[in-house]
Amino acid sequence: MRVAWIGLGHMGLPMAANVVRAGHELRVFDVRPDAAAQLVELGASVATSAADAARDAEVVGVVVLDGPQVEAVMLGPDGVFAGAGPGTVVTVHSTVHPATVDAVAAHAPAGVTVLDAPISGGVKGARAGTLCVMVGGPPDAFEHARPVLDAVGDLVVHLGARGAGLAAKLARNLIGYVSMLGAQEGRALADAAGTNPAAFAAILEHTGALSPMMRDLLSVPGGDDVYTANLGSLVELAAKDLRVTLALGDDLGVDLPATALTLDHVAFSFGAPPDANP
């Protein structure tokens, strides 16, 4: 398939690489011109703008940081919608409020469909092509984009109308982040009591108290070496996700006290200094 990819950060770059390896024809764009060097070596071409990348594409993947960035790369004279034509399906992989995707989709040109397709699995999963991809939107558009989604994830789930994917992703993140806070508190308590760290790690492993992702986060700052030098960026990303989750809870009338507490202590949850709390 002819695929465009917008955003080549820690997640977007390895995802795009897997799209190329799956045999798709890929055209990419990132605001950092040097970000695409690895993909060019794999056979991708580089666009001059999001609109240029989306021109003639059958599927456009968007992997940017937050709601304002989604709006910026989709709308405007150089945005995806300026280049996308009838039949194009845009998959938004960013973790944003469902209302953001709905607002952007309202400006889609005739024949262009927008899916929310948030991802989970971290950088490790992005590299391995083992992400969980949670999708909301029309079933026919989902099936159209499925070959590309299968290239980046090994659990690709269609959950219903647009917004359903993001609802699932935010709920999943809620559980993950709250679990991280509990893990860090438990480790602090065990350390203070003089429990051998290796023995405690073995206890957690044997009893299944932590998911594989939580084990990674406890053993390597941020769960991956790419965050070692700048854990603060991951803390800010988590805080953004938690704020969006709380906003969705408010919209749905669901009280989320553990989420609010985790936001207050999000830096500690990642093992970062307290002054890193956004």
**Is 169 a catalytic site residue?**
yes
Q: What are 108-113's contacts with CB under 8 Å, separation 24+?
A: 108/81, 108/84, 109/81, 109/84, 109/85, 110/86, 111/85, 111/86, 111/87, 112/81, 112/84, 112/85, 112/86, 112/87, 112/88, 113/88, 113/89, 113/137, 113/138, 113/141
Nearest to 221 by CA among 187, 259, 271: 271
CA 28 to centroid of chain Cα atoms: 18
In 3D space, the residue among 99, 163, 175, 112 whose CA is nearest the CA of residue 135 turns out to be 163
Fill in the amino acid letter for 147. Answer: P
CB contact at 8 A, 157 and 132: yes
Q: What distance, in Å, lies between the first and last C-alpha atoms of the chain?
A: 41
> From the candidates 169, 174, 218, 267, which is the catalytic residue?
169
133 φ, ψ (degrees, to nearest 5)? -115, 120
> Is residue 45 helix, strand or coil?
strand
Show the CA angle centred on residue 161, arms to residues 159 and 165, nearest 5°.
Answer: 45
Contact between 62 and 92 (Cβ < 8 Å): yes
β-strands 153-160, 59-62 pairing = unpaired
User: Which residues are marked as active site?
Assistant: 169
